[in-house]
């Protein structure tokens, strides 16, 4: 009977070990690898991200439809149309602290001057010649055309929202944009704020 506590403890530990082993999942279930996404999967994710990030809000020309502004499909993500005149926002409104958009949101004006949404299609007038590194730099560092020594992107581009975007999400957006129909459209350069 002197050894009863030792025997009892040994039996309890053995039972616990058996129960633990019986409750473990097979190693293959825990270590099963998810297959790498295909290019098609990546492009589909990029399309989804472009939609929820609101890229079309500013980068796609629109026309008025029965439910309000509608994207012009053949101009999707091509930026401010170069064949439109560059309007002159009301200087009084800007002096009073207003920021303004044109009717389809592809141009904005404020204390920074007047800016025009960029062409994001894979045409050379858009991002066609861009590397992924340029694209990443534009979105996460706010550099125009993704050039290290380029000027900063101007409002209303919300690049600061994308600083911590995951690499795989940036890749997905980039691959999607490279997959869409190229549109030749040279977007005007920003217009500095009026002096005086």
CB-neighbour burial class of residue 63 (10 A; exposed 0-12, middle 13-18, buried 19+): exposed
Residue 29 has pLDDT above 80, yes or no: no
Strands of 40-181 (E only): list them: 62-65, 68-71, 100-101, 107-110, 113-116
Q: Using an 8 Å Cβ cutoff, are 162 and 139 in contact?
A: yes
Is the residue at 22 inside a domain?
no
Q: Is residue 125 part of a domain?
A: yes
Indicate the DSSP class of residue 84. Answer: S
Contact (CB, 8 A) for 172 and 42: yes
Q: Is residue 147 part of a domain?
A: yes
Q: Residue 30 — pLDDT band, cuts 50, 70, 90?
A: low
Phi-psi region of 94 (alpha: psi -120 to 50; beta: other; left: phi over 0): alpha
pLDDT in tens, 31-51: 578 888 899 999 999 999 999
In a domain, residue 30? The reply is: no
In a domain, 4, yes or no: no
- Give the range of the structural domain holding residue 105, as residue numbers without chain letter: 38-179
Quick check: is 24 in a domain?
A: no
Residue 10 lies in a domain: no
**Mean pLDDT for the chain overall:** 87
Q: What is the domain count for the chain?
A: 1
Please determine, for residue 12, whether its predicted confidence score (pLDDT) is greater than 70.
no
In a domain, 51, yes or no: yes
């Amino acid at each position: 009977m002197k050894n009863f506590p030792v025997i009892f403890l040994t039996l309890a530990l053995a039972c616990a070990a058996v129960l633990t082993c019986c409750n473990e999942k097979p190693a293959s279930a825990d270590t099963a690898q998810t297959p790498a996404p295909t290019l098609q999967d990546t492009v589909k994710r990029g399309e989804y991200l472009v939609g929820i990030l609101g890229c079309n809000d500013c980068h796609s020309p629109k026309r008025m439809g029965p439910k309000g502004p509608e994207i012009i499909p053949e101009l999707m993500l091509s930026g401010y149309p170069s064949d439109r005149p560059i309007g002159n926002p009301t200087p009084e409104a800007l002096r009073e602290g207003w920021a303004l958009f044109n009717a389809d949101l592809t141009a904005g004006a404020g204390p920074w001057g007047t800016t025009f949404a960029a062409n994001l299609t894979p045409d050379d007038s858009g991002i066609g010649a861009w590397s992924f590194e340029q694209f990443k730099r534009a979105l996460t560092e706010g550099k125009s055309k993704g050039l290290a020594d380029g000027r900063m992107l101007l409002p209303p581009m919300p690049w600061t929202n994308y600083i911590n975007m995951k690499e795989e999400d940036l890749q997905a957006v980039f691959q999607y944009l490279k997959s869409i129909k190229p549109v030749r459209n040279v977007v005007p350069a920003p217009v500095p704020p009026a002096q005086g």
